Amino acid sequence: MLLAAPRFALPETLGEAITALADRPDATVVAGGTEVMPDLLWRTRRAEGFVSLRRVRELRGVTTTDDELVVAAGTPVAALIHVEHRALAAAATSLGTPLVRTEATIGGNVMSALPYRNLLPALLAADAALELTGPGGTRTVPFDGFVTAPGVTAIGPGELLTALRLPRHRGFADYAKVGRRNAQFVATASVAAVAAAGRVRLAFGNAGPTPVRSDAVDAVATALLDGTATPEELRAAVDAAVDPPTDPVASAEYRRHALGVLAVRLVVRAQVDAGLGS
């Protein structure tokens, strides 16, 4: 342990981190601090203490196996920009600024669990799984269903998100978002797409209280890729699948429209990538 105080712990190993959290059950887990610090500044969050994962080396880095891309949860977003999975890379590239991406982590983005967080649709479209480690050991759960409400996840008490496992994917994958301006914006609405073996898997951000995907949408998106469905049909399928919020940034109607437009845009990019489009 690099530092230990009643309201602060700076572990160096995963074991120390789990013990530190068990000893400080009311503490907020922070990695880079890029979400927690503004929340404290605006007083939208209270913290009774910090357990920081920033100095746990085994929680940083990207490795590959024959069939999986394994991203340790404390890997900074900056390290994802050139990662093999293009949807994750595109979502990372448009997150924050270079000065934020060096400290913001993939695990922090997931545990934040807010509907507009960049990496969530990319992970859902990629069919990612999450590794959760607690005092009782490690379990692996699908990312689909992990976020249960805005800002709320199915993580258990005393558990930490330790790694994200994505099926390896070298083909077309992309992410697109719209916001209120063209610089440093959070997503008013966002879509990620992964195309593999002629099938398209889409996932939507800020399209409901939790990240959204649907087999019905994917069937129409795949048909559009093949030229057997129209863009209008995909927009209608998206409209039926999403339940976006109305808030001071945008109306639900605007988001429905934008989500359909972004979905068509990504499938057209997949067509071009496959040599099918104009």
Partner 1 sequence: MADVEFELTVDGTTSAVEAGFSESLLTVLRDRLGVRGPKVGCAHGRCGACAVSVTVPGEDAHVLCACLVPAAIVAGCAVSTIASINGPDGELSDVQEAFLAEGAVQCGICTAGFVTAATELLDTNPDPTREEIEGALYGNLCRCTGYGRIVAAVEAAAAGRREATS
Q: What is the β-pairing status of strands 68-72 and 8-10?
A: unpaired
Per-residue binding letters, 23-42, with partner 1 (x by CB under 8 A): -------x-xxx-xxx-xxx
Shortest Cβ 75–partner 1 spacing (Å): 12
Q: Which is nearer to partner 1, 96 or 121 (CB)?
A: 96
Shortest Cβ 208–partner 1 spacing (Å): 27
Instruction: Decide: 222 and 199 in contact? Cβ < 8 Å.
Output: yes
- Rounded CA gap, 51 and 43, in Å? 19
- Rounded CA gap, 177 and 166, in Å? 21
Which of the ranges 48-56, 63-71, 151-159, 240-248 carries the binding residues for partner 1, by CB under 8 A? 48-56
Q: What is the β-pairing status of strands 50-52 and 28-30?
A: parallel
Per CB under 8 A, which of residues 255..274 are in contact with partner 1?
none
Shortest Cβ 139–partner 1 spacing (Å): 27
Enter the tokens of residue 271: 């067509």
| Nearest one of 67, 48, 57 to 14, comparing CA atoms | 57
The helix or strand, by DSSP H or E, that contains position 90, with its residue range, turns out to be helix 86-93
Q: Which is nearer to partner 1, 78 or 147 (CB)?
A: 78
Q: Which is nearer to partner 1, 183 or 197 (CB)?
A: 183
Q: Find the binder of partner 1 among 1, 6, 64, 251 (CB under 8 A).
A: 6
Which of the ranges 46-54, 163-171, 240-248, 270-278 carries the binding residues for partner 1, by CB under 8 A? 46-54
> Tell me, what DSSP letter sits at residue 76?
B
Instruction: Decide: 10 and 3 in contact? Cβ < 8 Å.
Output: yes
Confirm or reject binding of residue 1 to partner 1 (CB under 8 A): no
Q: Find the binder of partner 1 among 1, 15, 25, 97 (CB under 8 A).
A: 97
Shortest Cβ 24–partner 1 spacing (Å): 10
Confirm or reject binding of residue 3 to partner 1 (CB under 8 A): yes
Per CB under 8 A, which of residues 168..197 are in contact with partner 1?
183-184
Q: Find the binder of partner 1 among 44, 65, 67, 98 (CB under 8 A).
A: 98
Q: Which is nearer to partner 1, 37 or 223 (CB)?
A: 37
- Rounded CA gap, 107 and 77, in Å? 9
| Nearest one of 267, 222, 264 to 239, comparing CA atoms | 264
Total Cβ atoms within 10 A of residue 138: 13
| Nearest one of 60, 69, 66, 194 to 129, comparing CA atoms | 69
Phi and psi at residue 133, in whole multiples of 5°?
Answer: -125, 130
**Which residues of the shown chain bind partner 1 in the complex (CB under 8 A)?**
2-3, 5-8, 10, 30, 32-34, 36-38, 40-42, 47, 49-50, 52, 54-55, 57, 78, 96-100, 102-103, 183-184
